Chain A
Amino acid sequence: MQFANRTSLNNAAAVSIRRLQAKLVQCGKPFYLLMALAVMALLPLTAMAELPVPSHITPPPGEHEGEHVPQPIEFPHDRHVKDMKINCMYCHTYARRSKVAGIPPTSKCMGCHKVIATDRPRIQKLTEYWEKGESPRWKKVHDVPDYVHFTHEKHIRKFVFDADFPVEDVQQVCGVCHGEVREMTVAEKKKPLNMGFCRRCHEANGGPGDCWKCHK
């Protein structure tokens, strides 16, 4: 429960101080600026061919051939995850605390890329955004419909923290829904993420079956 306290600091009832940090969303019809509502968490780090499935999870069957979605910066997950062995939750830091996993704030990218690989075109593009005080408009790859209430926090808690699963291997848990992200450059959707997929997993792993648990 080490994250519980931290989470409670951010609970919805705490009246927080100061002005607002976040600027708002200008939502044009075609772009619904959804933050990492659904999912962009990803993962692997062991350099094995097949991502192992943790023994305490019975993965639901189901595959999906995702489209390639062009992103403003072609972010290489493989480079970060497979080569640099960076943990999913280092960048997708909200996954354990909120319903959304969160696209990492640009400040997090710049934490490293102020000094690392500054000669690469993608990093220069990122730096340009940073200096203008803007963030890239990422395209959402993993999404669930509006009437679905999905929360990363509960899934991570059940399958990682409560299960005493080693946090360093978390990409195996994330991979159940997000596929083998360590082999991708920009993320692609590899699992169907439809109701059948969710239900099969809930049935196999003892998830709730009440409609209003997941529908809103």
Chain B
Amino acid sequence: MSKMKSVKIDRRSFLKMLGWGGAGTALAGCDLPTTVTLEEGKEEVVSYLMPEEYVIPGIGVWYASTCLQCDAGCGLHGRVREGRVLKLEGNPDSPINHGKTCMMGQAGVQAHYNPDRVTSPMLRKNGTLQAVSWDEALSELNGRLGAVSGDRFAMVTGTVSGHQAVLVSALMEQMGSSNHFAHETINARVWRQVCEDMLGDPMPRLRLDKAQVILSFGADFLGTWLSPVHMATEYAKFRSAPRGMLVQIEPKMTLTGGNADLWLPARPGTEGALALGIANFVIERGWNKVNVTPNVRRALAEYDLPKVEEITGIPVSKIKRIASLLSERSPALVLAGASAAGFEDGYESVAAAMLLNIIVGAVGETIEASAQFPEAALLARQGSTADLIKFAKGLENKAFDVVLFANTNPVYTAPEALGLEKGLAEVGFKVAMTQFPDETAMLADLVLPLASPLEDWGTHVAAYQAGGDPVISVQQPLMEPIHKDVRGFGDVMLGLLKARNKEFEQFADYYAYLKTAMLNMPGLADKDNKNDAAWNNLLQKGLLSAKPAKGKLSIKAHTVEVAGYQHSKEYPLHLVPSARLGLWDGRHANIPWLQEAPDQIAKVVWDSWAELHPKTAHELGVKNGDIIRVSSASGSIETQVYIHKGVHPDVVAVPMGQGHTAYGRYAKNRGANPLKVLNPITDKKTGELATHATRVKVSKVPRKNILVKMGGSETQMGRPLVRTVSADQFRRTEGEG
């Protein structure tokens, strides 16, 4: 080794030395499957410059990292061969996903290798975005940032945690601005608020595994709620003998609903009344495990069952049955998700569900205090739609001169009625840090291309900690950037900070910053880091656990007031913008695998659709594939009809994710975006967008589509393909697990 070329070690030249740093150079030893050739000299072979001992061409090496396809924070192992990442699996050490992944996690590689990435900085000149160098881009940006003062600067991100959150806070501090907005359309903001107010803990741990019955008001915990992969692993325990029972109340069948033992659609927005009715009946029968104050008792007494049936449309007999299940099958767990929370009184509905939890004794049994990560600065700054609305208000008031977007696409997700595009037109300088040419980037004055999550460094603290000691999960690059002109989010942020605060100059780059920061975290075994042992161990494991800041649950049951049901003549139906595990809020619409993966319930691919109950479809005179126009007071969309019974007759459900006007070849001009036509109604308590509150009317458009979906038949046609067995027999033969 003494004869080897000695090279100064900074990160980039280090990598360059080890691998292939030269501009545009290629690499090493790939046997990329292509067409077949036996001709001599037609293919090129490039060797390593100087490989690590353990790298052998032809043999995969696994690296630990973190999944960023949603904000649940699952740990990953990535298989790397010849410098390319080929496959992602879950990290078995992660308490969040236990080595498992969801379809979006699996598709992370297609986001990374996406053919429609932004590959160089672009600056708007004479009205069009033109490629420029990073030097030019950053000098323009720094100039603009230097000229803006305090709150006139705003930053919009998605959920951000770990050391990226630290850098975002630091930049906001340097800029003297308090206008950081974290925006996520799919969130559990209302649930968190209710938990905080009624239990004293915003993110309590939910013990699905301990529950014998789960009553879920629209919480799609297997698909899109809180931490889906983790919930699915817990669900497996819940379903093992003696097998808990799942009751799902929601206006449109979600993935979780598809797995329920009892699935019922209440009239949209009346989930709160149903929960109160159940609570009332439980107390009436003396089945409650916890007593409530006379105040609460009196308020509950309003909800006698005939009245609840009238409000919700759920027959008294069913309500009684659900109530008795909650007491028979103790311990119970009651959850509430988007379809309960997405109304003006959404907070109250979720609170009603929580009240039920308290009454049936779930708190302390199936709901436990959270074990949060102890470093407050690293905790997730969780996205919400309330932040989006605040941001839109600011735009309306012309409050911002410079706006910096990072890894978020509000121009796509914001309802038309918020006037985001119009407001943004008035902003002097808009910067989009992004991997893809999304709708927000298309309106920006400066686009900064980010490295993909598989090319970048980071740390992540999941908002929902899965139990045991809380963890911070490390994201390390699985390969060198595909495009040489992209930069990591942390590196860009650090660069902006260095220009404003000399103290940051001690860090050559974000890697150096992160390494220093992590090695100084409490809980690391070896701070001395001899020969990089501690650091290497950390990277190899992919996560670090810490002694938790233990929460404590303190019950504060209070009265809940939910609104009654209002009929509307002009807009008779409710629009449900349903969330899909797959395209999510639209961010994965550019991933071909996820476009081609059939929706779990409707089985439709590559397009949008509107789910209608057969009764509603009959009234409207439409059939599968007919095009309908769905109009709200805020606008209209057109899409094809898919008829099935898993939807309330008063509902038209259109999934989120399609209807992009940009975002690359797979996403652009495909389907419709239901978020666009939502009315700007908010939850009174939290200010969250009331996503399910928009009333619509539906009209037939004289056009027809072929509904492209998987599977020819909707039923088994009498063939015993999926056989079933009764739960009693299952318990008898497979016992107590």
Contact = CB atoms under 8 A, between A and B. Distances in A.
B28 A35 contact: yes
> At the interface, is chain B mostly helix, strand, loop or mixed?
loop
Residue among A24, A94, A133 with the highest chain B CB neighbour number at 10 A: A24
B539 A17 contact: yes
Contacts of B299: none
A12 B60 contact: yes
Contact of A146 (B26, B36, B62, B476): B36
Contact of A23 (B25, B34, B57): B25
A41 to B, nearest CB: 13
Contacts of B50: 21, 105-107
Interface in B473-515: 476-480, 482
Interface stretch (A134-142, A164-172, A202-210): A134-142
A114 B43 CA distance: 29
A147 to B, nearest CB: 7
Interface string A128-171: 00101111111111111111000100000000000000000000
> How many A residues touch the partner, as a band?
35 or more
A100 B38 contact: no
B62 A35 contact: no
Nearest to B536: A17
B25 A35 contact: no
Given A37-B31, A143-B40, A135 B48 contact: yes
Contact of A18 (B22, B48, B51, B536): B536
Interface stretch (B10-18, B213-221, B353-361, B654-662): B10-18
Contacts of B35: 146
B30 A67 contact: no
A66 to B, nearest CB: 6
B56 A20 contact: no
Interface string B1-23: 00111000000000111111110
A22 B174 CA distance: 37
Given A12-B59, A16-B61, A111-B4, A105 B36 contact: no
A26 B18 CA distance: 17
Contact of A31 (B21, B33, B43, B478): B43
Interface string A12-49: 11111111111111110011111111001000000000
A188 B41 CA distance: 10
A36 B29 contact: yes
A133 B54 contact: no
B56 A98 contact: yes
A32 B5 contact: no
B87 to A, nearest CB: 11
B28 A25 contact: yes
Residue of B30, B77, B482 with highest tally of chain A CB at under 10 A: B30
B4 to A, nearest CB: 6
A100 B31 contact: yes
B57 A20 contact: no
Interface in B21-76: 21-22, 24-52, 54-64
B62 A16 contact: yes
A35 B56 contact: no
B114 interface: no
B204 to A, nearest CB: 33
A111 to B, nearest CB: 5
A138 B42 CA distance: 10
A35 B24 contact: no
A44 to B, nearest CB: 21
A21 B361 CA distance: 55
B539 A18 contact: yes
B51 to A, nearest CB: 5
B83 A67 contact: no
Contact of B47 (A14, A35, A189): A35
Interface in B397-453: none
A170 B48 CA distance: 24
B27 A23 contact: yes
A104 interface: yes
A182 interface: no
Contacts of A12: 59-62, 79
A122 interface: no
B345 interface: no
9 contacts: A15-B540, A22-B28, A25-B84, A32-B34, A33-B26, A34-B43, A67-B41, A133-B25, A135-B49
Interface of A: 9-27, 30-37, 40, 66-67, 69-70, 94, 97-100, 102-107, 110-112, 114-115, 130, 132-147, 151, 188-189, 193-194
Across the A-B interface, give the 4 residue pairs with the lowest CB-CB distance, nearest first. A35-B29, A23-B20, A22-B83, A69-B41
Given A134-B25, A139-B43, 18 more contacts: A10-B54, A12-B79, A21-B50, A22-B48, A25-B27, A25-B46, A25-B82, A26-B25, A34-B30, A34-B45, A97-B59, A103-B29, A105-B47, A137-B44, A137-B45, A137-B46, A145-B37, A151-B58
